[in-house]
Amino acid sequence: MAVVDDTDRKDQLNEIQALESIYSGTPEWFSYRIDNDSQIKGRITVVLPKIDDGIAVHADGKIIYVYYLPPLLLFFTFPQDYPSHSMPLFSLHASWLGSATRQRLREILINSWTNYLGMPILFTWIELLKEEAMQIVLSQKNVDLNKIVLEEDENEAFGKASAELLKTFIEFNDQSIQNDFENEWYDCEVVPSNILIIAGHLLKDLTYHYCPGNIHDVFYYAFQVCFSLKSGKECIRFMPCGHVFCMECTSDYYRQKLHDNSVYYCYCLCLIQQLQCLNSG
């Protein structure tokens, strides 16, 4: 069994402890183990920032636009003389990494080590990966999964076909957007009463056009919003308008509509939006 310098070992354990603290809210993003020869090995999930304008992903003749790319995985092993002399051994994995991009990121991490020789490096690498990977992705304008899958070098697609990979992109993007929504806080929306009165008369005429003989004041229950500030986990966002109401108010609204037998369309509770929906047919 190799002997680990006491100072190196202390630095290694301190670095692991710091990473555990950083990822305490998302423990699945960081894991490690100490093997039989006392080497510390681990994996870090590097989640990239949101792409504000989105990016195109190509696969099997299909094109989708996503705002989030699946994370990078950074696997590392601490040599016994890290950080005093040697840098960590590492590998990078991601379903959207082609061999050229992977090699470029590897070189960036290796070059950064020369500036931090003798110091813990993993947190610096994490931040570099976020920054540099985003710059590379944005400079490419799109991700071609067909090309990545067909590459003969180390295949980061883990043997999956491009269509399968595309599905993982969609799922990760949708979940990330939902997480963003749930982590925000929202006012249960309301429309000023003077607008409601005007809109109410207009919508009654439109409702009669679509549902003659069974007209109800569809605006009445919109006054019952709770005016509370609630987390996204307690709210519903109507699409495509984007208006947000809490689940309790939305449930009460449609429960009463069902009781009155007056549900013709699943409108957004925002009354002006209901007018727009009816006008568009």
Q: What does 110-176 look like in DSSP terms, one character per residue?
A: HHHHTTSTTS--HHHHHHHHHHHHHHHHHHH-EEEHHHHHH-SS--TTTT--HHHHHHHHHHHHHHH
Average pLDDT of every residue of the chain = 79
Q: How many Å apart are CA 74 and CA 100, to the nearest integer?
A: 17
Q: Which residues of the chain are in CATH 3.10.110.10 domains?
A: 7-182
What integer pLDDT is reported at residue 72 of this predicted model? 95
pLDDT exceeds 90 at position 162: no
Highest mean pLDDT (candidates 87-101, 214-228, 252-266): 87-101
The predicted pLDDT at position 159 comes to 54
CB atoms within 10 A of CB 163: 14
Return the SS3 of 41: strand
Task: Determine whether 243 is exposed, middle or buried from the number of CB atoms within 10 Å of its CB (0-12, 13-18, 19+).
Answer: middle
Residue with tokens 């963003």: 180
pLDDT digits (tens, 9 = 90+) for 236-255: 887 777 778 888 888 887 78
Q: Which amino acid, residue 260? A: D
pTM: 0.71
Q: Which residues partner with 64 through β-bridges?
A: 57
What is the predicted pLDDT for the residue at 266? 67
Identify the DSSP state of 271. Answer: H
* pLDDT classification of 212: cutoffs 50, 70, 90: very low
Which of the two residues, 205 and 48, has the higher pLDDT score?
48
Q: Which CATH number fits domain 7-182: 3.40.190.10, 3.90.1150.10, 3.40.50.1220, 3.10.110.10?
A: 3.10.110.10
